[in-house]
Amino acid sequence: MPGPLVAYFSTDAGLRSRSVSPVVLSGLLELPPLSARLGADWQREILRLGLEAGDVEPLSLARSRVRWPDYRLCVQAMSDWMDSQGLPGLLAPSELALMACLGARYHHDAEQYGSLAFCNLFLSEDRGQDLHFPATGQRIPLQRGRVVIFDTAQPHAVIDRHKDGFDPGDFSAESDGSQVFLSWELPIEQPRLASALGITFDIDLANATRLDREAVWLDGVPAKLNPDSGLFSRACHQ
């Protein structure tokens, strides 16, 4: 029988089912401070994009690399950390993006990225914010050099360190409450990564053959995320 929480994700051969991992791999790398020029460039781009509280949007990595002499050092530090976790060779073939957020509402990403785990390297200084995983109670302080790897089906948010949940009033672009981070999309079927996260595959073969899109189910029915608590509940059938 499948467990209470199941993620269905796309593969070349169709949908597969898997467990949802509560594991968050985390570390803190020694990275050089960003230059004032690069930080100012990111802040201008964030203002131009019109980020509002809770938004997560990509920045231009190509343009940033021109102004970022320590870019390769950051990527190498990340690669070395992955090696230390028994996850060598995963970064180079994985899609990479430079992202910015102004806090982040409780959400999960498995309806679009269920075949992946996110690997994020945070570049901003400590702004008094935590990455919160409400289902497990984990709160990870965000600061320069913070790295996290987690299941895209695990609900999460970026919240004020002294709050219990996401409050849009805690974030504004003008007060420089943004976080900038590098984000790699890692294939969750990769055996070493799946083992590190404790993922079990093909736990609901019958439903995987019946569904036509990626989804998360709870106790045998579609799951609904509470935007205030970040917790899943059983959605009513339509």
- Verify that 148 and 75 share a domain, yes or no: yes
Q: Which of 171, 127, 160 is closest to 146 using CA atoms?
A: 127
223 and 217 Cβ atoms separated by less than 8 Å: yes
- Verify that 214 and 119 share a domain, yes or no: no
pLDDT digits (tens, 9 = 90+) for 55-79: 999 999 999 999 999 999 999 999 9
1 pLDDT higher than 60: no
206 and 136 Cβ atoms separated by less than 8 Å: no
User: Residues 203, 195, 5, CA angle at the centre, nearest 5°?
Assistant: 35
173 pLDDT higher than 80: no
Alpha-carbon distance of 181 to 232, in angstroms, equals 27
- Verify that 68 and 186 share a domain, yes or no: yes
Alpha-carbon distance of 51 to 100, in angstroms, equals 9
- Verify that 99 and 35 share a domain, yes or no: yes
User: Residues 117, 122, 72, CA angle at the centre, nearest 5°?
Assistant: 95
CB-based burial of residue 207 (10 Å sphere; 0-12 exposed, 13-18 middle, 19+ buried)?
middle
- Verify that 113 and 204 share a domain, yes or no: no
Q: Which of 125, 114, 142 is closest to 217 using CA atoms?
A: 114
Give the DSSP H/E element, type plus range, for residue 62.
helix 61-66
**Which 8-state DSSP code applies to residue 170?**
G
23 and 197 Cβ atoms separated by less than 8 Å: yes
Mean pLDDT of the chain: 95
Q: Based on the structure, what is the number of domains in the chain?
A: 2
56 and 101 Cβ atoms separated by less than 8 Å: yes
- Verify that 207 and 134 share a domain, yes or no: no
Q: Which of 144, 62, 151, 49 is closest to 100 using CA atoms?
A: 49
- Verify that 176 and 216 share a domain, yes or no: no
Least confident among 84-93, 158-167, 174-183? 174-183
- Verify that 160 and 205 share a domain, yes or no: no
Query: 59 is in which domain, residue-wise?
Result: 26-195
CATH code of residue 93: 2.60.120.10
pLDDT digits (tens, 9 = 90+) for 75-111: 999 999 999 999 999 999 999 999 999 999 999 999 9
- Verify that 181 and 222 share a domain, yes or no: no
- Verify that 120 and 203 share a domain, yes or no: no
Residue with tokens 């995987």: 208
pLDDT digits (tens, 9 = 90+) for 141-162: 999 999 999 999 999 999 999 9
The strand pairing partners of 100, in sequence order, are 57, 180
- Verify that 106 and 223 share a domain, yes or no: no
- Verify that 219 and 123 share a domain, yes or no: no
